[in-house]
Amino acid sequence: MDEFFIQQLCLIGVGSIGGSLACALRKAGVVKEIVGVGRNIENLKRAVQLGVIDRYEQDLQKAVVSADMVVLAVPLGAMESIFKSIAPCLNKNTILTDVGSAKGSVVQAAVNVFETLPPNLVPAHPIAGTEKSGVEAAFAELFNARRIIITPTAVSDKHAVLQVRSMWEACGAEVIEMDVEHHDEVLAATSHLPHMLAYTLVDTLARMDDSQEIFDYAAGGFRDFTRIASSDPQMWHDICLANHVALVKVLERFSSELKELTEAVQRNDSDYLKAMFSRAKRARDTFCNK
């Protein structure tokens, strides 16, 4: 097998995730040139200054025409329009991948544009990130020892899959393959639901009459639990819409459990509360120890 190397990477979306990918690949020495694309010209100029990208384009078609790897690091709602823009200029050997948090919508967007799924499309999702956004938040170590889920389609070319896997492994990540639908179900429970809870809690408290006093006395636990509510609202808006079927299922399950908890508190059910708290502690301790 040839040693993995990207001659030209086209990075559409130079934010914290896309920028960190660029930094990690550059640090690993497996990319020759990185071309960034985005709507915010100041962010692109800053990315060049920081050495995250080598140059930038605002014309999508010019950006992808010579690339051997194109990575879409944009909100899910923008995927279809970008596919439509770059489709006429993609080289048949250009590998196309993304970093979106829901995969079913990415696959559907590709079908809508290309009519049939491109063999060189390999959807992916890095299970990594912070609540910060923009290229200033990018750093090369973000993916070290973190899991990256790739979700090849039924027609994904084996070489394309290998190249996307190798790209993430070069960043220090552990790569796992998963079915598209299963990915969206798992992430709805483990990532999307927690974000919904954090956003809802902060929004609820902020709209209370004594909200200023509530936030003045918020302790570390509140900050820890709600940290992710500082994430990009547009990104999470798109994730909700893109993965709404799986997300509704886990929201309904959680709502049912929350109703039971409310009723237990109302009746001062000591046994229920102690059992639930103990189960939760054991589960989290086991997860963290892994």
Which domains, from first to last, does the chain contain? 6-178 (3.40.50.720), 183-289 (1.10.3660.10)
DSSP secondary structure letter of residue 190: I
pLDDT at 3: 86
Tokens in use for 211? 């909200």
pLDDT at 1: 43
pLDDT at 149: 98
Cα 211 from Cα 231, distance rounded (Å): 21
Q: Which pTM value belongs to this model?
A: 0.91
Cα 79 from Cα 121, distance rounded (Å): 13
pLDDT at 2: 60
Pick from 148, 146, 251, 242: which is nearest to 194 by CA?
A: 251
Tokens in use for 27? 């640090």
Cα 140 from Cα 211, distance rounded (Å): 38
pLDDT in tens, the chain (290 residues): 468 999 999 999 999 999 999 999 999 999 999 999 999 999 999 999 999 999 999 999 999 999 999 999 999 999 999 999 999 999 989 999 999 999 999 999 999 999 999 999 999 999 998 878 889 999 999 999 999 999 999 999 999 999 999 999 999 999 999 999 999 999 999 999 999 999 999 999 999 887 788 888 888 889 999 999 999 999 999 999 999 999 999 999 999 999 999 999 999 999 999 999 999 999 999 988 86
Sequence-ordered alpha helix ranges (H) in the chain: 16-28, 41-49, 60-64, 79-86, 104-114, 158-170, 180-187, 193-206, 211-216, 220-226, 233-242, 244-266, 270-289
Convert 47-61 to b/e letters by CB count within 10 Å (16 or more is b). Answer: bbeeebbbebbeebe
Tokens in use for 106? 């990415």
Share of the chain above pLDDT 70, in %: 99
**Half-sphere exposure (CA, 13 Å, Cβ side) for 238?**
18
Tokens in use for 258? 């929350």
Q: Let me know: does 214 contact 205? Beta carbons within 8 Å.
A: yes
Cα 231 from Cα 168, distance rounded (Å): 23
DSSP secondary structure letter of residue 173: P
Cα 124 from Cα 22, distance rounded (Å): 15
Distances 238 to 75, 94, 110, 114, 223 between C-alpha atoms, Å: 6, 26, 16, 21, 24
pLDDT at 150: 98
